[in-house]
Amino acid sequence: MPRSLTSSPQPTFLGVECGGTRTVALLVDAAGRLLERVEAGPANWRLLGGSGLRRHLRALARKFSNPAAIAIGMAGVRGEDDREKVRQVATSVWRRTPIHTCHDLETALWAAGGSPDVTPRVIVLSGTGSCCYGRNPGGKTVKMGGWGHLLGDKGSGFEIGLRALKAVVYFLDRDNQWTRLGERILGSLQLNDPEQLIGWVQTAGKEQVAALAVQVFSAADERDPIARDILRGAAAILAKDAAACAGRLTPHGGPVEFVFAGSVLQKQTKFAAQVRRLIQERFPGARFTKLNRETAWGAVELARQSRTGFLLAAGASHATPAVGQNSTAMATAQSRTTTTLADAGGDWLEARPTSPTEQRNSRSLNLDRMSVDEVIGLMLSEDAKLPAAIRRERAVIGRLIGWVVRSFKQGGRLFYVGAGTSGRLGILDASECPPTFRTPPEMVQGIIAGGQQAIWSAVEGAEDDGEAGGRAITFRGITRKDVVVGIAASGRTPFVWGALREAKRRKAKTALLCFNPHLQIAAKDRLSAVICPRIGPEVLTGSTRLKSGTATKLILNMITTIAMVRIGKVVGNLMVDLNPSNVKLRDRAVRIVATLTQCSVEECRTALIKSGWDVKRAIQRLGGRANNAR
């Protein structure tokens, strides 16, 4: 029978380590004695998302129904926003329990002895993946790595395995020799020849590639030169990152405790000794220990600390008060939750009326009982209201277009930022500019919450990540030359507001396109412009792909089309900068040149071919008669 508070006279504490390889949950009593240990499958926040994590935790809750406090360390958690989301999911599973959330390296730090009192401590982790994480006595934390196997994981089992695969096929090509390391790899995979590696690696997961590291270590023990070279490189990069992490914690030097964690460093003693020697060259006074217990024990300690009201330095704690705690603590927690949910736009979320996009349309209350013809008529009549509503905003739209024109002339860019339908419409408009106006792809860009995957499928929780919106702006290098237009039907999308705030901080022109006239924006968040047509509720309540989406498309059409006209990409009403990338567009290019030059079709086609199908250059080649042929 599972142990819980109901079967124990003392309070129990649950520590959960959600790792990329497996999940370990430990239940202990008040004296720290282990009552039960449970293993489950991997649980990376980046891969599971909210609904996946909820299912994962509910399975654990069936075994551990009522602990006094819980701490969860989770792979894939990077910032405060991630921690809060994990906490909210966990709170929906254990509703009456204080819950602390953090990333899995924080639990490893606590498993190694808690927050350092005197000497900075650095966790050096190399298993399937790799990362370095440290904290000094002042509470400063530094993390290096954790970017995943495609962008990072230097010196990890995955990188060692991947380097081995690349090395053995390289030497086969260069020397026509299949090495001992190659033989080991084929044998471990039950493959018959190197050609079969091509099919295997296309479907192999991260863990499968990392498992090949065992063969590299074995080959190195057999004095295989390729394997030894791979391991020297892995040890060097791990030591370099560990030393850099320590250097940021104690910039003036001094003693540092390095804790080795992960299967590679814990099981491969020769490799660990090699890493240790390289670190000592940089930190002669370094001390070394090995994490000799599961990192889930760090989660246990954090659960016990959160029960007593302990809060980590540097904002790492996210503990939910249990029912019955004092009202001040509860009010603080509620305030924190409200702030997170309200991060869309700041102070205006207080006592807000429902956005029209979420209200019911009185004309469609019987939508499910109307005939098809009636619904078509209703939808068309609702859409017919859009031009007048948009026309009332034309002064603001005109100002925005003016900023976009000035931006383009100064070498700046236009960015659309949105989530869901709004984000997809921004990407659609941006993607049409290069073929229509021969603009470089970076001139008009769409940013969607959740990234590329969200273009064709929903990415759960992406629109609520305000920090991600800010990061998107940061990593696009927004400057004062650029214009950033947020698109949010309700006006409250956190991802959009995170982007707008960061763009504003960088002195870019900022605008919001929304359909919520009740929106109130705090003074600190004032934008350069707000476009807010009053289009009323949707025919299908809350479905903003309908009128809101149609109105958005109309307005985006105006912004880019008029801006392109104003910077000279149109003559008359003809696209003189289109990119003729197919037969239809080449025929159109010929007609445009013929219309503007009054030359024959053959002359125009020849001029276009000689001009690389550049319409403007073809017109100039034919005598520059465009101005006389409007």
Judged by phi (left if over 0) then psi (alpha if -120 to 50, else beta), residue 613 lies in left
Q: Which two tokens stand for residue 454?
A: 């969200």
Question: Where do the H-state alpha helices sit in 34-151?
Answer: 45-61, 80-93, 104-111
H-assigned helices in 62-149? 80-93, 104-111
Angle, CA of 450, 451 and 455, to the nearest 5°: 95
β-bridge mates for residue 74, sequence order: 18, 103
What is the C-alpha to C-alpha distance for residues 620 and 399, in angstroms, rounded to an integer? 33
**CB neighbourhood size of 208 (10 A):** 15
Q: Tokens standing for 615?
A: 């319409």
Q: 258 by DSSP, 3-state: which?
A: strand
Distance CA 236, CA 276 (A): 10
Report the alpha-carbon angle 410-412-413, nearest 5.
150
SS3 content of the chain, % helix, strand, coil (to 5): 50, 15, 35
Q: Which residues, 6+ apart, have CB-to-CB distance to 292 below 8 Å?
A: none
**420 contacts: CB under 8 Å, gap ≥ 6:** 449, 454, 458, 463, 544
Among 262, 221, 239, 247, CA closest to 19: 262
Q: What is the DSSP letter of 571?
A: E
Cβ(65)–Cβ(339) below 8 Å: no
Q: Among residues 464, 103, 133, which one has the least CA distance to residue 318?
A: 103
Enumerate the active-site residues. Answer: 432, 463
Burial 289-309 (b: 16+ CB within 10 A, else e): eebeebbbbbbbbbbbbbbee
d(CA 272, CA 585): 62
Helix, strand, or coil here: 255? coil
- 320 near 333, Cβ under 8 Å? yes
> Rounded to whole angstroms, how far apart are CA atoms 436 and 340?
41
DSSP per position, 579-607: ---SHHHHHHHHHHHHHHH---HHHHHHH
- List the one residue out of 271, 278, 20 whose CA is nearest residue 153: 20
Q: How big is the CA angle at 80 (ends 77 and 86), to the nearest 5 degrees?
A: 55
Phi and psi of 369, rounded to 5°? -110, 0
Cα distances from 168 to residues 184, 189, 197, in angstroms, run: 11, 14, 11
Structure tokens at 153: 């994981």
Residue of 149, 190, 196 lying closest to 168 (CA atoms): 196
What residues contact 440, with CB distance under 8 A and at least 6 apart?
434
